[in-house]
Chain A
Amino acid sequence: MKFTLSWLKEHLETDADLATLLDRLTMIGLEVEKVTDRAEGLEGFVVGHVLDAAQHPDADRLRVCRVDIGGEEFQVVCGAPNARTGMKGVFAREGSYVPGTDLKLKKTKIRGVESSGMLLSEREMGLSDEHDGIVDLPEDAPIGAPATQVMGLDDPIIEIAITPNRGDCLGVRGIARDLAAAGVGTLKPLDAAPVTGAFKSPIEVHLDFPEDKQDACPYFIGRMIRGVTNGPSPAWLQDKLLAIGLRPISALVDITNLVTFDLGRPLHVFDAAHVSGHIRPRLAKPGETLAALDGKTYELDAEMCVIADDDKAEGLGGVMGGEASGCTETTTDVYVECAYFDPVRTAMTGRKLNLMSDARYRFERGVDPAFLIDGMEIATRLIQELCGGEASETVIAGEEPAWRRQLTLGAERVRTLGGIDVDAEETERILTVLGFGVSRGADGFTVEVPSWRPDIVGEACLVEEVVRIHGYDRIPTVSMEKTEPLPGRALSTEQSRRSIARRTLAQRGMTEAVTYSFLADKDAALFGEIADSVRLGNPISSDLDVMRPSLLPNLINAASRNAARGIASSQIFEVGPQYAGDAPEDQAMAATGIRAGATGPRHWAEAPRPADVFDAKADALAVLADLGVATERLQITADAPGYYHPGRSGVLRQGPKNVLASFGELHPRILKAMDAAGPIAGFEVHLDNLAKPKARKGAAKPHLTLSPYQKVSRDFAFVVADDVTAQAVVAAARNADKALITEVEVFDLFTGESLGAGKKSLALTATLQPMDKTLTDAEIDAVADKIVAGVAKATGAELRG
């Protein structure tokens, strides 16, 4: 919402300076977004009187002017065709900066004649593109006065943001009323004295709505004014509209815009010559079209409200008038519409047609339902003043929509909700100036809500009115009350697990990324079937059109982007949601990461190698271990999802069904489809699948028993079939003596022709830890024999000879 300072002062009697007004506006909720001081940089230019404009001796198009600026005279050579004796123009003296040409004026000679200073065009002043001649000021402009003052440029333009609840501030008067309440002036009275109608309007108004749709346009005031002359509007009106960015069109149209922005009261004017019969506000007929004033034709539906005549729709109620009956320079009889339209229907109509207008903007926020007749009278007087003509009696159809309501404001409520004591007198003053009817009782106030405040619906709204006007800055600041001597835990187990996963992975050298929850369908589909319920109806682009089934594709694409920037190896992870469907339980938290390219840079001491399945497995295990999972007890199977390399991937399970993580090298076909360079090893830890921690009895750890006896280790090399897993061999070895054997590790893997086809050799070291005595050689040998026998029985292994 834009207005100028002087416009505001037409409604607000105030001595406050601009800075105070701006501050109050912002603090009471009418946030100042921009202030434009059009006089800035033009301060030095003054009104110059051209005493004499004589022909230049050596140039046909130039004139030599003597310019008086009040006690001082200058000789200026001027090429403007309108430079003439007796005129008043804008004079810039030498040394001043001319914004339109970006030059500093110097004394100069033009074709041999001295010229000091300049008479300026609008373009040279930086005001417009007008350069056909120099600025022609009114004859009565005081010589030597600042040009900005004479030109009305010393009037700053203020632009404020209006929140959706404050339709009443979409007119300058509403803003003035708020400021008056805020104590920076008084609201001037508004003259809406009725204009006596000279005749009965030949055009009647018949509201024509079905019984249950009467609220579309419940109230309509019309009036004919005949014998008007519709030329350009006067300079004061044009200047006002131009200042707020509106294009002057004609006096009649400009008047409707003025009333819209001044009083928040949209109007429409029909050329009565193009209205056939009577005005019939009704719902549109399906398929009916309207050529609107914006030059476009709209197809209407039966939910839209139109202002029709006997023949056809002439306007979209509350949105825009029609071209056919619009006012032109030849209009002589005008029919003025001042009506009330339902906010919801108006908004829906505008949205469906993608048609925004100043009228719609106001109607959908709610215009004052009790300001129709006053609005009509004010508009009538303006039309008669600017265009002449004779007004009919007003035609009134329907009735004022009910708006009166009473609310109560408890005596203590401002204090208990707003946190500040505002005394009863001040409360009453604030509400009264805002237009509320207030009566004070023993336990508070009974309040009549003004017609222009549909947003005030309860006691909390009244508290807001009182407190915002009194000043949020005056509310005493109070610290939050402590409910406990020490704060409780802020994070749930699930939330801390995410945080631990993040910091574990970062500690392992991986960098956290945050990527979009959506991605391209073609990439997402590589990672599982995409449910229709997670396809966006209105994606911002086809690259971001489905919710992600996994975090991997975004990370793979991130690695590719980094590779394109010259970073060939990426170690990145993300902890975030993935979506199997649109229900809350379909959203799952994953800690997912990839290692792309080499394990490190080239180095003088050790060579890097390509990241592989065991890097990913280590990451997954580290996350699980830090989350308290007994990783040595997890089952490891080779049935990872299909986007992993089938021979170089695995799954970590707790029990047969509960998948905690999957890991592996990404399938080459997937990487090819995503145009990503491989190999890439990745992992996904499904955080939501981790068991809830058991309720613990205190924080004590289990008792630690340390053996005083020497531990011993024995190495074994087993030859097994290729498909026998290391895990099976290790488990069999461990099970040989659960009490004595505390650790079994694989330390070598060998395959070769010497073993025979389909065979491999696994070398293990088993650690034996006696608790009660030192083991004898015989006892150690006995355990070793049990290991060999146990592994052989479980896996068909033979001791390598």
Chain B
Amino acid sequence: MASLKELKGRINSVKSTQKITKAKQMVAAAKLRRAQAAAEAARPYAERLSGVMASLAGKVSGDSAPKLLAGTGSDKRHLLVVVNTDKGLCGGLNSNIVKAAKIKARALLAEGKDVSFYLVGKKGRAPIKRDYADRIEKHFDTSAVRNLGFEEAEAIADDLIERFEKGEFDVAHLVYPIFKSALAQDPTVDQLIPVPSPEGEGTGGDAVVEYEPGEEEILEELLPRYVKTQLFGALLEREASEQGASMTAMDNATRNAGDLINKLTIQYNRSRQAAITTELIEIIAGAEAL
């Protein structure tokens, strides 16, 4: 049985932990709203862009299609772009993303493909390094940036496209969490390069559209932009997912701490009572003996 003083110390330490988790939960809740708004605001651009892509990609096909759309002709070397968060305290989010990336990597390796990793965010480094230390191409550090913007997405995309042009890989996949709700964030694997032909109707409909300078030139301009938008979307989803997961995890932690405090308080009171009773019995027994 722990002494009264020990119990009191434990109660206090759990209380201060609860204060931290509660603060983190509230911060995450506030940031989540902002991250969600940002993700929402980015949607029109992505929608329009894929609409235009759909109408163009159908027109430009065959040999004239740019490399980013048609691919290099082989699919031997794969690059997994894994988007993780920079900070912890967000439950199982990062391990879920890493798990999805590893499953994909294993599937590709089993098919006899070559796999390498391109890591965005800090928290994916250690777990991926453990299994695939020699396959990591690059870490892209986003931890120094407070508000993720289009610039980061642009930098990543430019780097990726440059590597693609140099022929360092044939296919790139993007692994990132999709924000469903504060309770659910699904890790998703999407093909990034070569750009998959978007589904759906083009915005132009059946009307004859005039292109300036020409379909191919526009498409060539458009594809890098599309890759950037994809990455930007992934970064925004990551942000929202991180805050959502963090909020849920910290909510649970706060509740657990509350339960623990209740339990410890009961234990503390019981042992205090027991000590008082023992003392009383001693006194009474002493008085009776006289």
The answer to whether A binds B is: no
Chain A residues close to B by CB (< 8 Å): none
